[in-house]
Structure 1
Amino acid sequence: MPTTLTLTDFQQAAARLRTGVAEIKAVTEVESNGRGFDSVGRIIIRFEPHKFHEYTKGKYDGTHPSLSFPQRRKNYPVDLNQSWDLYNIAKTLDLTATRLATSFGMFQIMGSNFPSCGCKTVGEFVTKMCKSEAVQLDLFCRLLLDWRLDDELRNHQWATFAKFYNGAGFRQLHYDTKLQNAYAKHL
């Protein structure tokens, strides 16, 4: 089973991002309940059917309506098991689109963001994400620095951070409020 992060790991990442440990832990709590892997060692994922639809141009909407559709559905997939079920079916149809349409690890970074994490391919990104939470933390730091979101995290600009990290619909899911509350809890 992959190792979990230590306080030293968080402190080193905080120094790299010039922020605090509480800020980073807030993101992990909101994105994955602070876990990169489940109890049996599977990486935490969230398969996004609306993104799969986007990357396959709706090719599978008719034949696989539970894993490809145009609009995000709130609370779907319902849990990690359903995400893995959908992921495993989708990858038999189009592996690259499946990986691009899935968020991975404790920071729930979308596969489509692999270049911003310093990876040459989405396959390299997925392989790295599956190694350890420490690697997931490194890729998160790379992403924030590439996107120049480290200052929003550092300055507790939760709405701006959530908008760029989670997308324009962040308010519907209250990401900014969740981040602020999680940060207060980890102080």
Structure 2
Amino acid sequence: MTTPLPFAGAARPLAPADIAQAARDLGCDRAAIEAVLAVETGGLGGFLTDGSGRPAILFEAHHFSRESGGRFDASHPTLSVRSWDRSLYLGGRAEYGRLQAAVALDRAAALRATSWGLFQILGSNHQAAGFASAEAFVAAMAESEGRHLGAFIGFCRANGLARHLVVLDWASFARGYNGGAYRENRYDTRLAAAYARARAAAPPEPVLRIGARGEAVQALQAALNRAGARLVVDGLFGRATELALEAFQAVRRLGVDGVAGPATRAALLDS
């Protein structure tokens, strides 16, 4: 009987509707989430491509030093360093060799010092991502990309980052998500470029008016509720949705026509 690899799981992929639902949950453009995905994974997904069922990871030696109190800086200089050093990364499955070596020294510190999954969230951020412990977080990261996405939503909410995604303030998002050295990595400019590509590839957003129905109407109703309306989010564009939309347009000094075109929807994203 084959022994399962450490940190391997079901490795289920995202379902087609998951990102759209996440965008509704955070109140942002779907392309904004796709931009973070593109930058964090390079389009390779949240799991290794070798069929092992293990999440994509990066072991962060500077975080391991911090989490372990610097005890291994002298004895294991490729695993534990005080400052970030890009040259220590091996990439892909080789990162698991680094992780396993660190686990042998201090398992708790090693799990907390590793970035996991689609959104490369550090194990030390497990609580913000919605998990009681790093062990529980890592187990979820091995389960599915849907759990990766849920952790990202929780992390954004806990750290006040959703509003930056809504208004596409990439510098503020990068600072909160990637740390103060984000400029060194050009993280904000890479996000902006990835967002532009995602928007260019997206189908045109439909103009929504009374009688429309579906996911786009649900997103509209949820956005109107965030702006102060009290609609039932049922995906049916009826008179109540039209009245709420007209009220929003009046407040924002838009053309009051009860139709959700590009200008109105952009204003809703910024509200």
TM range (shorter): over 0.9
Q: What TM-score, normalized to structure 2?
A: 0.67
Q: CA deviation at 1:179?
A: 0.3
2:11 alignment partner, one of 2, 5, 21: 2
Q: What TM-score, normalized to structure 1?
A: 0.96
Alignment of 1:24-35 (within 5 A): 24-34=33-43, 35=45
Partner SS state of residue 143, structure 2: coil
User: Which deviations, in whole Å up to 9, do the C-alpha atoms of 1:89-121 show, x marking residues without a partner?
Assistant: 000111100011001000000101011111111
Partner amino acid for 1:54? R
Q: Number of paired residues? A: 187
Mean Cα deviation higher: 9-18 or 57-66: 57-66
Unaligned runs of 5+ in 1: none
Structure-1 residue corresponding to 2:80: 68
Cα distance change, pair 7–20 in 1 and its aligned pair in 2 (3 A): farther
2:56 alignment partner, one of 28, 44, 47: 44
Whole-Å Cα distance in 2 between the matches of residues 113 and 83 of structure 1? 19
Are 1:12 and 2:24 an aligned pair?
Answer: no
Alignment RMSD, CA only? 1.1
User: Which deviations, in whole Å up to 9, do the C-alpha atoms of 1:64-88 show, x marking residues without a partner?
Assistant: 1110111101243031233211101
Which entry has the higher C-alpha Rg, 1 or 2? 2
Whole-Å Cα distance in 2 between the matches of residues 45 and 182 of structure 1? 21
2:109 alignment partner, one of 87, 90, 97: 97
Unaligned runs of 5+ in 2: 1-9, 200-271
Structure with more contact order per residue of length (Cα contacts < 8 Å, sep ≥ 6): 1
Task: Please list every run of at least 4 consecutive aligned residues from structure 1 whose deviation after the TM superposition is greater than 2 angstroms.
Answer: none
Structure-1 residue corresponding to 2:100: 88
Alignment of 1:109-124 (within 5 A): 109-124=121-136
User: Which deviations, in whole Å up to 9, do the C-alpha atoms of 1:30-55 show, x marking residues without a partner?
Assistant: 11123110112320001000110111
Whole-Å Cα distance in 2 between the matches of residues 76 and 158 of structure 1? 27
Structure-1 residue corresponding to 2:191: 179
